[in-house]
Amino acid sequence: MSNRNLLVELFVEELPPKSLHRLGKSFAQDMWLKLAHDSLVDKSQTYGETYIAYASPRRLAVWIKDVLSQAPDRQILQKLMPVSVALDATGNATPALLKKLSALGADASVVPTLKRHMDGKTEAMFFDRVVPGATLTEGVQAALESALTALPIPKVMGYQLADGWSTVNFVRPAHRLVALHGTDIVPVSALGLQAGRSTQGHRFEAASAMLEIRDADSYEAQMENEGAVTPSFEKRRAEIARQLAAAAAKENLKPIEDDALLDEVTALVERPNVLVGKFEADFLEVPQECLILTMKANQKYFPLLDASGKLTNKFLIVSNIRPADASLVIGGNERVVRPRLADAKFFFDQDRQKPLDSRVHGLDKVVYHNKLGTQGERAGRVQAIAFKIGQLLGGDALAAQADQAALLAKADLLTDMVGEFPELQGIMGRYYAQHDGLSDDIAFAIEDHYRPRFAGDELPRNMVGLCVALADKLETLVGMFGIGQIPTGDKDPFALRRHAFGVVRMLIERDLPISLLSLIDIARAEMPENARGDWAAPLHFVLDRAQGYFEERGFPSQAVNSVLSPWGAASPLGQLPSIVEAATAFVASPEGQYLAEANKRITNILKKSGFDVPFGISPRDLKAAPNTALFQQDEERTLFASLLAAGEVSLKLRKEKSFTAALSALVPLSQPTKAFFDKVMVNVEQLDIRDNRITLLQHARAYMNQVADLSLMAG
C-alpha cells in the first residue's frame, strides 16, 4: 500500500458568492472525514493539518495529504442472529443462517468456526472475519458522493448533460472533474463527469484554454502561474485586503471595513486587482450612508473615507483582470456607479419634498401581521408605550418627546429611499426629521429606536431614543408572545431573542430605574385583546436573556439565579450587577455560607408545609406575625428579636441600594439561626405551636432574602 497526496477538483459555472466560502470548507472537510472513516488517511491527525481547501468562483477543490492506495484490512466480529434462529433442534445451520453467510461471501464451511456470545439476555452467533480495506477508487468515490450530498446548498438547479437525455441536480452546472493520486488519475465520477486531469483557468488571462494538472502537489502553483487563478479563498481574501490597504494609503484615505463585503468580493474574482475610481463631488450632498450602501450593495465597491470617517468621492474597485492599461476598466466602473448615485440623490430629493409626519397615516395601509393589525396600529401601540416609559423615566417633558419620536419612528418606511434600501430605515428617518426642523433628540431617537440591532451594537444615544427603543422591542415581544409566535429551536422569524437581549442591555447598561415587570405590564395594557396573553411567558423569556448576559460576563450561575426570579424582575435590572457581586462575596464568607444553607433548609420546610414565601416579599406583607406568647424556648425568642433588629437594618440598606451592607447586616442572624435549628423542633404535634414556628420561619426567609435568594447559593 502506497500513500501519496490526493487532489480532487470540481470545475463548475459561477457559484453563489455569499455561499462560496462555506461550500469550499464543507466540500474539503467532508472529503477528508469520509476518507478518514474508511482508513484511507490517518484519522489520528486533525484534518485542519492534513488538507487544504480551495474555493474560487468556478471551482471547489481539496488537496489531502498521504492518502493510501488501499486501506488496511479490518478484523471484525459481526453479529449474525440469535442462536435459536441460527441453529435447528439438532444443532445444524438453519436456512436463515446459510442465507446470511452467503450474503457475507461465506458458506456452510465456516459454521463450525462461528462464535457464541451473550447479547444482552440472548445468546447470539458471531462471525469473526476479515473485511478487505477500501481501495483508493472506492474510497474517493464514496467520499466525493458524500461531500457533494452534504454541501450546504439551499436550492439546486436541474440541467441536462451532453447526451441530451440525462438530468443532473446541483447548485450550478458542473463541467470538469479532476482526481489525482500523486500523478495518477483516480477513475471516479460525479454529476455525469468522469475524472481526468484537465481543468480551466481564468476566462481571459490563463496561459491556455485548458490546463493539464501534472500531479496533486503542483495544482496550486499551476493554477496561479498558468491559470492566472488564486484557488485558495483565504489567500485571495488576504491579497484583496492587502491591495485595498495599499491603494487607500496612496490616496491618504482608508477603505470602509466590511468583512461580509470582503468575503463576497473574494468569491467573485479569481485574480484580484484593486483600482481607484471616483465620482463627482456633488453627490456627497446625499447622506453618506446612502452612497456607501449603494456602492457596496449594487456595485461591490469599497468606499474610501478620510481620517475623520467622512465619505470622499473616491472608491476602490476589485477587478478580475489585470490589463496593462486599466483606464478603460476604471472608466467603465465610474460610468456604472454614476446612475446608482444619481438614483440615490433623486430619492433623497424627492423624499424631502414631503414632511415626515405627512407619511404617518400611510402606515395604516401597510399590513404588519394579520393578528396584530397594520403598521399604523403597531406605531400607535409603540407611541403609547413610549409615552408611559417616558413618564416613568423623566416625567412629562421626556414623555412628550418620546411620544413625538415614536409617532414618526416608522414613517420613513414609506419613503423612496427606504423602499430601495430597507437597511436605511431609521437612518433616513433621522435625516428627514432634521430637514423638517425637529430637534436632534427627536431625530436621533428615530434612528436609534432600532438599536441595539445585533450583539455589540451601540445603544440609543439619548433618553428619548431609549424610551422608543424599549417600547418598540417590548411591543414586538409581548405582541408575538400574545399570539403564540414563540421562538422554537433555531427558528426565530421575528428576532425575539435579539429584541429581548436589547431590552436587557438597555436596562442594565443604562441603569434605568424601571423594572422589567413594569415594562411588561405597560406593553400588555396597550395590546389588542387577542394579543395580551400571559405576562409570565415574555417575562421569563427576557429573564433568560438576562441570565445569559450575566454568565457571558463571568458572573457565577448560582449568584445570577439567586436574583433572577420573577421578583428579580420587579426591581430595576440595572441594580442586578451590583447585587450579584455583593451576593457572591457574601456567600464566600463562613456566615454567608451558613445562612445560605440555613435558607435552603427553611425553604424546604416551608414548601413541605405549604406556606412557602416567595423570594423578595416584604415581611410586612406576610399574612401573620409570630405570636410571642406561643414561644416556648429561648431560641425562638432570640431568633425573632434578631430578625427584627438585623432584618430591619438590612431592609433599610436594601432600599438605599447598599447591597453589600444590606447582606452584611444579616451576619448577626447566623448564630441565632443555628441555635434555633439545634434546639427547636418545628413540626411538633401541638398545632398552634407548630404553626407559630412556621410563621417565624416565614419571617426569617422574608428578612434574609431581600437582596438575593440565598437558598439558591447553598453549597
CA separation for the pair 585, 336 (Å, rounded): 64
* 628 in the same domain as 611: yes
b/e code 532-570 from CB counts within 10 Å (16+ = b) = bbebeebbebbbebbbebbeeeebeebbbbbbbbbbbbe
Q: Is the pLDDT of residue 462 over 70?
A: yes
| Total residues belonging to the chain | 715
Q: Is residue 528 included in any domain, yes or no?
A: yes
* 189 in the same domain as 67: yes
* 141 in the same domain as 115: no
Contact partners, residue 260, CB within 8 Å, separation at least 6 = none
* 376 in the same domain as 293: no
Q: Is residue 347 included in any domain, yes or no?
A: yes
Q: Is residue 356 included in any domain, yes or no?
A: no
Q: Helices (DSSP H) in 510-570: which residue ranges? A: 516-526, 536-552, 557-563
* Residue 628 contacts residue 707 (beta carbons within 8 Å): no
Q: Is the pLDDT of residue 1 over 70?
A: no
* 15 in the same domain as 144: yes
Query: Quick one: angle between helices 590-609 and 576-587, nearest 10?
Result: 100
pTM exceeds 0.85: no
Q: Is the pLDDT of residue 77 over 80?
A: no
Q: Which of 192, 225, 258 is the last residue of a domain?
A: 225
Q: Is the pLDDT of residue 233 over 80?
A: yes
Which residues form the domain of 107? 75-131
* 255 in the same domain as 205: no
* 186 in the same domain as 58: yes
* 269 in the same domain as 250: yes
* 80 in the same domain as 67: no
Q: Which residue has the cell 495544482?
A: 219
Q: Is residue 246 included in any domain, yes or no?
A: yes
* 84 in the same domain as 206: no
Q: Mean pLDDT, to the nearest integer, of 580-602? A: 91
Q: Which of 351, 379, 404 is the last residue of a domain?
A: 351
Q: Is residue 462 included in any domain, yes or no?
A: yes
Grid coordinates representing 176 are 470538469
Q: Is the pLDDT of residue 328 over 90?
A: yes
The CA dihedral of 655, 658, 660, 663, to the nearest 10 degrees, is -30
Q: Helices (DSSP H) in 207-358: which residue ranges? A: 219-225, 233-250, 259-266, 288-294, 327-351
- Of 496, 447, 444, the C-alpha closest to 475 is 496
Q: What is the mean pLDDT of the chain?
A: 92
Q: What amino acid occupies position 146?
A: S
Q: What residues form DSSP beta bridges with 212?
A: 198
Q: Which of 178, 207, 225 is the last residue of a domain?
A: 225
CA separation for the pair 632, 181 (Å, rounded): 91
Inter-CA distances, 253 with 20, 121, 149, 272, 448, Å: 30, 77, 46, 20, 28
CA separation for the pair 715, 558 (Å, rounded): 10
CA separation for the pair 616, 600 (Å, rounded): 15
Q: Mean pLDDT, to the nearest integer, of 443-472? A: 96
Q: Mean pLDDT, to the nearest integer, of 535-554? A: 89
CA Rg value for the chain: 36
Q: Is the pLDDT of residue 708 over 60?
A: yes
Q: Is residue 342 included in any domain, yes or no?
A: yes
* 382 in the same domain as 458: yes
Q: What is the pLDDT of residues 335-345, one digit of tens each?
A: 999 999 999 99
Phi (first) and psi of residue 686, to 5 degrees:
-70, 115
Grid coordinates representing 645 are 433588629
Cis peptide preceding 187, ω within 30 of 0 = no
* 587 in the same domain as 679: yes
Q: Which residue has the cell 499551476?
A: 222
Residue 397's CATH number: 1.10.3210
Share of the chain above pLDDT 70, in %: 98
Q: Is residue 436 included in any domain, yes or no?
A: yes
Q: What amino acid occupies position 159?
A: Y
Q: Mean pLDDT, to the nearest integer, of 105-120? A: 84
Q: Is the pLDDT of residue 237 over 90?
A: yes
**How many Å from the N-terminal Cα to the C-terminal Cα in the chain?**
59
Query: What is the 8-class DSSP label of residue 572?
Result: B
- Of 181, 183, 146, 162, the C-alpha closest to 34 is 146
